[in-house]
C-alpha cells in the first residue's frame, strides 16, 4: 500500500496527474446518523458556492527518449522524470494540465489549496461554482505542510467559508468533503473523523485528520467541513492499494492551515518559530535508564549555541509540554514551535533529573547558518546555481525528515527562475552530489560548482528520505 496525493505522482507518496475536466457536476449526499436529510442539504447548499476547481497548467511535460527503456538504464529514473541528454531522439510533448480543488477563504478572492496542486505550474486558473474562470496569482506556498494560497480578482465579493477548531473536533464526529474528484465539480461525500493527530511522513510540521469520507484524485486542496459548515481540514492524501478511495483519507488540520495561510498572506512566505534543540524520541529503554516511569516527551540531545534554548534547556531534558499543550513524542514539538509567532515567550514543562519544572524561552526565527554560494566576480551570471544552503545539522535532519545516513547540504531558499528552481529543487532538499563530487558542506558544493564541466550537470538530491537525480544548468 502507499499514500496517494489526490492529484499527482511522487513516490513514496503517490501523487496523480490531474484528470481531464468533464464539464459536469455531481452532487451526492448521504444522510448521516443523527442528522436529518434537510440539515445536511442545507449545509451543502451553504458551503458549496465557496468550493472551487483549480486548473494547473505546465507549458511542457518532461520528455522521454523514443524507444528508450528506463528500467534497463542506470539513469533510467532520471531520464524518465527529467528528460534525456542531448543526442537522444525525443518525442515532442505538449502542455500538461492537472485538476485539484480549493476553497474561498476571503470575499476579496483569497483561495486555499494544496501546494502539490499548483507546484510547477506556469498558469493557475480558478473555476468558481458558477462556472466563471479567473487566472490566479500564487501568493505563496508551503511545501512542508502542502498548503498554497492563491488570489483572484473576480470583480465582486465572493462567498467565503471560515476555519473551525480542528483540536476541538472529536473522533467519530460527522464531516463533509466537497471537491473535484476526477473533474466532477461540486462532489459531496460524507463520513466521520476516523482519527486525529496522524503523521503520514509528510514532514515535521504537518498533522492530519483521518476520515472515511470518500476522497479521490482531484479532491486535493478541497475542504473537509464539520457539521457547522466550518473547515476543519484540507484534503491532501489517501492511503490506497488501488489508487481509489478505500475509506482512508487525510486532511491537514485547520489549526495548522490557518497559521500557514496567515503567514503566506502577510508576505508570501512562512516564518517558523525556532527553539534551537536537537531532539529524539524517548523509548522505554532510555526512559528506564533515566529513571522515568513513562516514555513520553521529546528528549533534548543537544542545544544549539546562541539559540533561544541556550541557557534555558539542557541536554537530557525531557520536554513534556509546550505552552500548555502536551508533547507525547519528538514529532509533536516541531509543529508546536514552528507555528508559534516569533518573539513569543513560551513556557515549556520539562523533566530534568527526574524532577518536573517550567522554563521560559523566547521563540526565535527559524534560521540555520547558511553559506554564500555566489560565483567569483569573473564568472558569467548563468553559472550561479541560485540557492542558499546550510550544513545538514541534527536539527535540520529532524525538521526535513532525513536520517543520519544522508550527507549533503540542505537548500534553505531558491531564487525565482534560477537554474536550481528550473531543475525542480525545493526548499528542504538535500544536495548529496554534484556530478561525481560529494557535497557534504557548503564549501564542497561551491568547489563542485566551480570545477564541474558538464552542462547540464547531474545532481543527486535527497527529498524526505528518497533520492532522485535532477539535471541543473550551471554554465
Q: 216, 243, 268 — which closes off a domain?
A: 268
pTM: 0.65
Same domain for 249 and 216: yes
Give the span between the Cα atoms of 18 and 6, in whole angstroms. Answer: 9
pLDDT at 197 over 80: yes
Q: Where are the beta strands (DSSP E) in 8-143?
A: 14-15, 51-58, 96-104, 110-113, 123-127, 133-135, 137-142
Query: Would residue 73 show up in a list of annotated catalytic residues for this protein?
Result: no
Question: For residue 236, how many other CB atoms are within 10 A of its CB?
Answer: 32
Q: What does the pLDDT read at residue 425?
A: 86
Q: What does the pLDDT read at residue 18?
A: 38
Same domain for 425 and 279: no
The domain containing residue 319 runs over which residues? 273-365
pLDDT at 452 over 60: yes
pLDDT at 35 over 70: no
In a domain, 80, yes or no: no
Active-site hit among 6, 116, 317, 366 = 116
Q: What does the pLDDT read at residue 89?
A: 45
In a domain, 147, yes or no: yes
- Which of these, 205, 149, 218, 465, lies nearest to 334 by C-alpha position? 205
Long-range contacts: 396-405, Cβ < 8 Å, 24+? Answer: 396/368, 398/204, 398/278, 398/279, 398/330, 398/334, 399/204, 399/334, 399/428, 400/203, 400/204, 400/428, 400/430, 400/464, 401/201, 401/203, 401/204, 401/464, 401/465, 402/430, 402/462, 402/464, 402/465, 403/465
Same domain for 443 and 340: no
Active-site hit among 220, 240, 245, 278 = 220
Bigger pLDDT: 457 vs 24: 457
In a domain, 79, yes or no: no
Query: Would residue 116 show up in a list of annotated catalytic residues for this protein?
Result: yes
Average the pLDDT over each of 102-106, 360-364, 460-464 and give the range with the smallest value.
Answer: 460-464
Same domain for 219 and 118: yes
Same domain for 468 and 450: yes
In a domain, 25, yes or no: yes
Same domain for 389 and 251: no
Q: What does the pLDDT read at residue 428?
A: 86
CB 193 within 8 A of CB 72: no
Average the pLDDT over each of 8-12, 153-157, 361-365 and give the range with the smallest value.
Answer: 8-12
CATH of the domain at 411: 2.30.42.10
Same domain for 104 and 235: yes
Q: What does the pLDDT read at residue 287?
A: 84
In a domain, 73, yes or no: no
Q: 200, 235, 268 — which closes off a domain?
A: 268
Number of domains in the chain: 3
Torsion (CA) 101, 104, 109, 110 in degrees, nearest 10: -80
In a domain, 427, yes or no: yes
Q: 268, 293, 313 — which closes off a domain?
A: 268
pLDDT at 4 over 70: no
Most confident of 173-177, 236-240, 392-396: 173-177
> Which grid coordinates are listed for 461?
538530491
Share of the chain above pLDDT 70, in %: 78
Q: What does the pLDDT read at residue 423?
A: 83
Structure confidence at residue 126 as a pLDDT band (50, 70, 90): very high
Q: What does the pLDDT read at residue 294?
A: 84
**What is the average pLDDT across 401-411?**
83
H or E stretch at 177: strand 174-179
Q: What does the pLDDT read at residue 132?
A: 95
Same domain for 244 and 103: yes
Q: What does the pLDDT read at residue 36?
A: 55
H or E stretch at 446: helix 442-451
Same domain for 186 and 307: no
Q: What does the pLDDT read at residue 94?
A: 58
Same domain for 137 and 40: yes
Q: Is the peptide bond before 410 cis (omega within 30 degrees of 0)?
A: no
Structure confidence at residue 381 as a pLDDT band (50, 70, 90): very low
Q: What does the pLDDT read at residue 32?
A: 47
Same domain for 283 and 255: no
Query: Which segments of 86-231 does DSSP mark as H helices, in order?
Result: 115-118
Bigger pLDDT: 202 vs 347: 347
Query: Would residue 220 show up in a list of annotated catalytic residues for this protein?
Result: yes
The pLDDT mean for the chain works out to 79
Most confident of 167-181, 326-340, 441-455: 167-181
Q: What is the pLDDT of residues 85-111, one digit of tens each?
A: 444 444 445 567 889 999 999 999 999
In a domain, 144, yes or no: yes
CATH of the domain at 23: 2.40.10.120
Average the pLDDT over each of 195-204, 215-224, 365-374 and give the range with the smallest value.
Answer: 365-374
Active-site hit among 119, 142, 146, 174 = 146
pLDDT at 137 over 70: yes
Same domain for 464 and 391: yes
Amino acid at each position: 500500500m502507499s499514500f496517494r496525493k489526490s492529484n499527482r505522482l511522487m513516490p513514496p507518496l503517490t501523487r496523480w496527474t490531474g484528470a481531464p475536466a468533464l464539464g459536469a457536476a455531481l452532487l451526492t449526499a448521504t444522510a448521516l446518523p443523527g442528522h436529518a436529510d434537510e440539515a445536511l442539504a442545507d449545509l451543502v447548499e451553504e458551503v458549496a458556492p465557496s468550493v472551487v476547481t483549480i486548473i494547473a497548467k505546465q507549458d511542457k511535460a518532461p520528455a522521454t527518449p523514443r524507444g528508450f527503456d528506463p528500467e534497463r538504464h542506470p539513469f533510467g529514473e532520471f531520464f524518465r522524470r527529467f528528460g534525456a541528454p542531448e543526442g537522444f531522439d525525443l518525442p515532442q510533448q505538449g502542455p500538461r494540465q492537472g485538476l485539484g480543488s480549493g476553497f474561498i477563504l476571503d470575499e476579496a478572492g483569497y483561495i486555499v489549496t494544496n501546494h502539490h496542486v499548483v507546484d510547477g505550474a506556469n498558469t493557475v486558473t480558478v473555476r468558481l461554482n458558477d462556472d466563471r474562470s479567473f487566472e490566479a496569482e500564487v501568493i505563496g506556498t508551503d511545501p512542508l505542510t502542502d498548503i498554497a494560497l492563491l488570489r483572484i480578482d473576480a470583480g465582486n465579493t465572493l462567498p467565503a467559508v471560515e476555519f473551525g477548531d480542528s483540536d476541538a473536533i472529536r473522533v467519530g464526529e460527522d464531516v463533509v468533503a466537497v471537491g473535484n474528484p476526477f473533474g466532477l465539480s461540486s462532489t459531496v461525500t460524507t463520513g466521520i473523523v476516523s482519527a486525529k493527530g496522524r503523521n503520514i511522513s509528510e514532514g515535521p510540521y504537518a498533522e492530519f485528520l483521518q476520515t472515511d469520507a470518500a476522497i479521490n484524485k482531484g479532491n486535493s486542496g478541497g475542504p473537509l467541513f464539520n457539521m457547522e459548515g466550518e473547515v476543519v481540514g484540507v484534503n491532501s492524501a489517501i492511503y490506497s492499494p488501488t489508487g481509489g478511495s478505500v475509506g482512508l483519507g487525510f486532511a491537514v488540520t485547520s489549526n495548522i492551515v490557518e497559521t500557514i495561510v496567515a503567514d503566506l498572506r502577510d508576505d508570501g512566505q512562512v516564518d517558523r518559530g525556532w527553539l534551537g534543540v536537537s531532539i529524539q524520541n524517548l523509548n522505554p529503554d532510555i526512559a528506564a535508564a533515566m529513571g522515568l516511569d513513562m516514555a513520553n516527551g521529546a528528549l533534548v540531545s543537544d542545544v544549539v549555541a546562541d539559540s533561544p534554548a541556550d541557557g534555558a534547556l539542557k541536554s537530557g531534558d525531557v520536554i513534556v509540554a509546550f505552552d500548555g499543550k502536551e508533547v507525547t513524542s519528538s514529532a509533536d514539538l516541531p509543529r508546536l514551535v514552528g507555528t508559534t509567532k516569533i518573539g513569543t515567550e513560551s513556557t515549556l514543562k520539562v523533566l530534568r533529573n527526574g524532577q518536573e519544572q517550567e522554563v521560559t524561552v523566547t521563540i526565535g526565527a527559524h534560521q540555520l547558518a547558511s553559506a554564500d554560494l555566489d560565483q567569483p566576480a569573473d564568472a558569467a551570471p548563468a553559472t550561479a546555481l541560485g540557492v542558499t544552503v546550510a550544513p545538514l545539522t541534527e536539527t535540520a535532519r529532524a525538521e526535513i525528515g532525513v536520517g543520519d545516513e544522508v550527507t549533503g547540504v540542505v537548500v534553505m531558499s531558491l531564487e525565482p527562475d534560477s537554474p536550481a528552481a528550473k531543475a525542480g529543487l525545493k526548499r528542504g532538499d538535500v544536495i548529496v552530489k554534484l556530478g561525481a563530487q560529494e557535497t557534504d558542506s557548503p564549501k564542497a558544493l561551491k568547489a563542485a560548482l566551480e570545477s564541474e564541466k558538464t552542462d547540464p550537470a547531474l545532481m543527486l538530491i535527497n527529498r524526505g528520505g528518497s533520492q532522485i537525480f535532477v539535471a541543473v544548468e550551471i554554465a
